Amino acid sequence: MMWQATLRDLQWRRRRFLIAITGTALVFAMSLLLSGLASSFTLETNRTLHAIGADVWIVKQGASGPFTAFSPVPDTDATRVAATPGVTEAQPIIYLHQTVGEKPKDINLFGVVPGSLGEPTVAHGRRLQSSGEALADTTLGVGIGEQVEMAGRSYDVVGTTKHTTLNGGIPTMFISLKDAQTLLAGNAVASAIVATGTPTAPIDGLRVMTVDEARDDLLRPLQNAAQSINFVKVLLWIVAACIIGSIVYLSAMERTRDFAVFKATGTSNSALGFGLAIQAVVLAVAAAVIASVLATLLAPIFPLPVEIPTSAYLTLFAIAIVVGLLASLAGLRRAVKIEPALAFGGP
Amino acid sequence: MKETAGADLIVTDLTVEYTAGDYVVRPLDKFNLHAPDGSLVILLGPSGCGKTTLLSALAGILTPTSGTITHAGRTISGLTGKALTEHRRHGVGVVFQAFNLVPSLDATENVMAPMLAAGISSRDARARAVQLLDQVGLAERAHHHPGDMSGGQQQRVAIARALGLDPPLILADEPTAHLDYIQVETVLRIVRGLAHPGRVVVVATHDDRMIPLADQVVELVPRFVSEALAPQQQELDAGDVVFEQGDRGDRIYIIDKGSIEVVRNRGDGTEERLAVLAAGDYFGEMGPLFGLPRSATTRATEPSTITGYSVKDFRDKLGIERLGDIVSVAKQRV
């Protein structure tokens, strides 16, 4: 019975419910975009590390990782690593934060041995062959044949890579190891040694990190941002619950006489509660559907990379149901307290 | 009318008392009623006399303070939990004042609502609702919402809703209150037709036009024939009570000698002294003038003499101008 009464009430007060759905959908869409933002931090890092192609990252003993602290190792350590049992290939790699262009633009700079492990596959153009050449991520906006100014020197872009961003959409550029070392006063050093295979013996003075550990090192500076995003997401869910809760409560207040009549004619509190819960869940799920469409449309024009994973959509629907159920509690408390004797009241 | 003692509605010594604000109200005090099976009973009386309270108790919506209600051999007044819900669903149908239809549901859905709550399938409930709406002459309005119907049509939908589960007891609260005379005629005919063997119909109203329809008329406020009462003098000792809060009476008192205190019984069992009246003062005029129960208790604080007058004698004695003064300060009087 409450199905019918609930659906009819949704139709009856459709304008108000549409406003609530719109407001909640905007809030949900924001939470989805934030999910996509947080998720993109991890996804872009995974893709870039995958493009580099290493199975392990080997850094100086005591260093926290190849990205967050610069603890250089001699580039010749690559030979030592390559000779370690279990390793099939090892190459030195340099990672630096840099800027390019006259109007400084942040990039993640990798120095790699051309044609070897560490150099990603290009989307267009060709791989590095000699000094003065660069591979640039497409988001840097520099085409093949163009030049990039970096630290007082020009680099010819010979190839472009796709999906090789880090640290929240900052593009990555690859140059030769030797060119990168000139930025370090010409010292024959590397940030780390990348290798394929897995060393089965300890390497003196060096620490072997898995790709996951390297990723964690890269993401550590973003941890606070990711936590803040999650915190804001929870706040947004609470806001959504408040919007739906207030509408359902208002609806319950206006339906006081109706509920009294239902009770006087034998409808139980649980049935009334079921009706309110259904109403709130329908509102929340409808808002989630609209939010999904909205977020998908907004994601490409968001200033930061936003990649909303399927799990975020599924989570949103689960959250919508929980939000709906919690929101219905406000109306439920009201409905339970209504005395059926009210039905006998006058107009 | 078929006399079947087993399906009679019997109310015995029914008292309902509750606290309103901080004082006690007793709208029903040892009320008795015997409505034979198949009868139409009309409860007559002004607003506030306990009509709706009695209907609420019969509907199982209000638990009486004491007394019993028995219908068809089943005690209603003691029901709780599932048995009470069962009574509300199957034992009684209520036609509420002001119709109280759910505005978002159309006529058919309003009639279906109690049937669906009772677990009847949607298809069966719809078929029954259509049949009932046809019975009350609203077949063509089956899909109209209450807001699109006249008061009389809404009242007929409310009647159809009350009949959904074919209950053996139908209660109607002021069924003609919001209707014009043309609508009243239709509703009266339907209400009269509801009472038949196997069912008792109780209608609360202050509409005298319904009296000819009734098998039994119960006046909840006794009609005092004030004109026939001669003045009556009473000698009181200290502490003697003139009347109790909640009593009904037809006399207005003037204090000849001594003093009378006016106290109101509060919800927490204590008393609040409202006034102490001296010789020459009068009290107890509000109840007889307006047909209300006494709103306070009065008793002598010392040996006193009072004289009780009928409303007419009191009015003659006081003069019509002073009577207007009484009404203007009615809130302070008992």
Q: What are the tens digits of pLDDT across the range B185-196?
A: 778 888 888 888
Q: Does B105 touch chain A (CB under 8 A)?
A: yes
| DSSP tag of A347 | -
User: Are the C-beta atoms of residues B136 and B158 closer than 8 Å to each other?
Assistant: no
Least confident range from A59-63, A287-291, A326-330, B126-130: namely A326-330
Cβ atoms within 10 Å of B269's Cβ, excluding its own: 7
Q: Residue B261 and residue A13: Cα distance in Å, rounded?
A: 56
pLDDT for res B222: 62
pLDDT for res B1: 37
Coil, helix or strand at residue A65? coil
Q: Residue B329 and residue B26: Cα distance in Å, rounded?
A: 23
User: If pLDDT is split at 50, 70 and 90, which confidence band does B3 have?
Assistant: very low
Give residues 247 to 266 of A whose Cβ lies within 8 Å of B: 257-258, 260-262, 264-266
User: If pLDDT is split at 50, 70 and 90, which confidence band does A44 have?
Assistant: very high
Coil, helix or strand at residue A1? coil
Query: Which residues of chain A have a CB within 8 Å of the CB of B52?
Result: 344
| DSSP tag of B90 | I
pLDDT for res A245: 86
- How many angstroms away from the CA of A287 is the closest CA of chain B? 22
Coil, helix or strand at residue B38? coil
Query: Which residues of chain B have a CB within 8 Å of the CB of A261?
Result: 96, 100, 102
For A135-177, the pLDDT digits (tens) are 999 999 999 999 999 989 999 999 999 999 999 899 999 999 9
pLDDT for res B4: 43
pLDDT for res B117: 86
ipTM above 0.85, yes or no: no
User: Are the C-beta atoms of residues A58 and A207 closer than 8 Å to each other?
Assistant: yes
**Nearest residue in B to A270, CA atom:** B117
User: Are the C-beta atoms of residues A33 and A302 closer than 8 Å to each other?
Assistant: yes
> What percent of chain B is predicted at pLDDT more than 90?
38
pLDDT for res B331: 43
Q: Provide the mean pLDDT of chain A.
A: 91
Strand order of the sheet with strand B74-75? B23-35, B9-20, B66-71, B74-75
User: If pLDDT is split at 50, 70 and 90, which confidence band does B320 have?
Assistant: low
Q: Residue A332 and residue A345: Cα distance in Å, rounded?
A: 22
